[in-house]
Amino acid sequence: MSFKDKVVWITGASSGIGEALAKSFAAEGAHIILSGRRLEALEAVSAELSTESLVLPFETTDYDALPAKVAEAHGWKGKIDILINNAGISQRSLAVDTHPDVYHKIVNVDLLAPIWLTQLVLPHMVAAGSGHIVGISSVAGRVGVPLRTAYCAAKHGLIGYMDALRAETEKLHNIHVTNILPGSIRTNVSRNALTKDGKSRGKSDAVIDNGMEPAECARQILEAISNNTPELIIAEGPEMMIANLRQSDPDQCFAMTGAMGAQIAEKYAAGDDD
């Protein structure tokens, strides 16, 4: 697939994977719609792109405002070729300690918001007879990872929605759906993660700091979209191993995550959240 003159709409585009995707698509000649909450950060990304871009800030969970945002996005070039649901928020807290509001917020941001944005974009793609929808899930969308019960629930759910959507649209409407399951990517995901009371964690993890560069993650995502790949795990080392084990040997996967979870829970109970 050539991305030249395609219109690509990216949520969570102000940093991390979203920013890297915007730059990678622009380098291929695509026109980029940049969305997120932080106007200045989106404008800074836009200024670095080599093609036309539309800065379209909004809160993904402001469902009343979304129809007008979709109309503006579609009206910019008269089409939306690729929608990338990338905006999200992670978690770092034990289930036993976590306030219900944290579950509500994470499921709202990571699952319901991308579903509703996709639902609003979908009729335009059906009318056009083509399109590509991408859900940025996570390895935690396949594996139950300690400290991320809400995040895992939302990311598992996103994969389920996207898989069902693919089954409905791929053959009938020529709309492709790709699930992306990143492992540790060098972003602010851990710093921005919610703790047990809904506050931002404010610090990163060593595994994230030593993770894959966002640009490499973006390169693999573009390749997956170009090839109409239904699902791609972007991970290395133990993360890739455990993601594969979830499919090939679930019992071993559960044993490994259980041992890891016990160690982490013991540390957290002792007040050590590093």
CB distance 154 to 111 below 8 Å? yes
Q: What distance in Å separates the CA atoms of residue 68 and residue 56, rounded to the nearest whole number?
A: 11
Q: What distance in Å separates the CA atoms of residue 243 and residue 255, rounded to the nearest whole number?
A: 13
151 is catalytic: yes
CB distance 83 to 9 below 8 Å? yes
CA distances from 221 to 25, 52, 120, 245 (A): 10, 21, 23, 22
SS3 135: strand
Q: What distance in Å separates the CA atoms of residue 153 and residue 155, rounded to the nearest whole number?
A: 6
CA atoms within a 13 Å half-sphere pointing along the CA-CB vector of 54: 20
Question: Does an H or E element contain 177, and which?
Answer: strand 175-182
Listing from the earlier edge strand, what are the strands of the sheet with 53-55?
Answer: 53-55, 31-34, 7-10, 82-85, 131-136, 175-182, 231-234
Catalytic residue among 63, 103, 151, 268: 151
CA-nearest of 47, 84, 113, 110 to 221 is 84
CB-count exposure of residue 52 (10 Å: 0-12, 13-18, 19+): middle
Q: What distance in Å separates the CA atoms of residue 21 and residue 11, rounded to the nearest whole number?
A: 10
CA distances from 56 to 9, 78, 95, 102, 181 (A): 10, 15, 35, 27, 26
Q: What are the catalytic residues?
A: 151
